[in-house]
Structure 1
Amino acid sequence: MDKDSQAVSELLNRALAESGLSQAAFATALGTSASRFSTYRSGRTKPTAQFVLRAGRIAHALHAAREYRIMTAPATATAIREASDEDWAWRMLLQGRDHLRLLLRRHDGSEAAWEAAPSTTGQAGFDTLLAVLTAHEFKAAGEDPPEWSKVKALSDPWVPKHPLLERDEIIEQTPDYLARANIFVPARDLVTA
């Protein structure tokens, strides 16, 4: 392996270690497959300079988020997937969204932790909702949303059960940006203290 390829391999290995994720999870976070990432790390395939820089930036942000116990998109998806019930899944979703808001207010690059694409929550509705909320928060902060958050609307409407509202009331009280994704959640249910 030539010196430049060796240096790229070392940079990617350091980024993987700093991210705190498995190779498969870090590859997902970067929008590639574990096998492709492995070929980059071994030097068999040359990644773009943009990919290498992005890997380092995201790994650094993931490390900082973990150190300060700030949820990231991958951590939020995992928390939703591992939630003991749907109420806890909603709490994890909103806590993750609130952590994203904090990072976006800092204007120091730490929001890169949310550029890391998450694995699935195990439910299409929550996967899409996490993506749509993330894109909405980035746009509200005047930032470009991460690629992974640019998703298509659900094919069928998702109207989670509500303890107080009927289906029509839920639909009526849903913000437009969620309705466009075929997700129906009252705006007040997205408010946190």
Structure 2
Amino acid sequence: MDKDSQTVVDQLGRAVAESGLSQSAFAAALGTSASRFSTYRSGKTKPTAQFFLRARRISRALHMAHEHRIMTAPATARAIRDANDDEWAWRMLLQGRDHLRLLLRRNDGSEAAWEAAPGTTGHAGFDVLLAVLTAHEFEAAGQEPPEWTAVEPLPEPWIPEHPFLDRAEVIEQTSDYLARANVFVPARDLVTA
């Protein structure tokens, strides 16, 4: 293997380690398959320069987020999946969204941690909601949303149980960007201090 190819292989190995994710999770976060990423790591296939630079940028951002205890999309999805009840899942969703807002306000490249595609939350409604909220925050900050946020609307409306609003009130109080995804959550329920 020539020196440049070996450098790419070595740098991709460092990117995996720096990301704090397994190789397959890092591959998924980059939007590629574990087997395809493995061919890059072995040197059998050469990644594009764009893919290589993206891997380095996202791994650094994931590393910094982890060091500063900032939630990322993969960490938020994992926290929702591991939640013991719906209330905790909602808290994790909103905490992750608030961490994204913080990173977007910094505008120093650390928001790249949210370009990493998350695994599933274990619930189709939360998967779509996480994607739609993330896209909304990037757009509000004047930035292009990550590719993984381009999701299809749910096939059936998801209207989570509400403690004091009936279904019609929930639908009426849902923002348009959520309703287009067939997710119905009152706007005020997404407000945090």
**TM-score surpassing 0.5?**
yes
Equivalent residue for 2:34?
34
Counterpart of 1:44, as a letter, is K
- How far apart are residue 132 of structure 1 and its match? 0.1
Once the two structures are superposed, the pairs formed by residues 1-193 of structure 1 within 5 Å of their partners are 1-193=1-193
- How far apart are residue 117 of structure 1 and its match? 0.2
Deviations 1:47-90 (A, max 9, x none): 10000000000000000000000000000000000000010000
Task: List gaps (5 residues or longer) in structure 2.
Answer: none
Counterpart of 1:159, as a letter, is I
Counterpart of 2:142, as a letter, is G
Which structure 1 residue ranges, 4+ long, deviate > 2 Å from structure 2?
none
**Secondary structure of 2:157's match?**
coil
Task: List gaps (5 residues or longer) in structure 1.
Answer: none
Counterpart of 1:71, as a letter, is M
What is the distance in 2 between the residues matched to 1:5 and 1:151? 35
- Give the CA RMSD over aligned residues: 0.5
Structure 2 length-normalised TM: 0.99
- How far apart are residue 4 of structure 1 and its match? 1.7
- How far apart are residue 45 of structure 1 and its match? 0.8
Structure 1 length-normalised TM: 0.99
Q: How many residues align?
A: 193
**Secondary structure of 1:17's match?**
helix
What is the distance in 1 between the residues matched to 2:61 and 2:4? 25
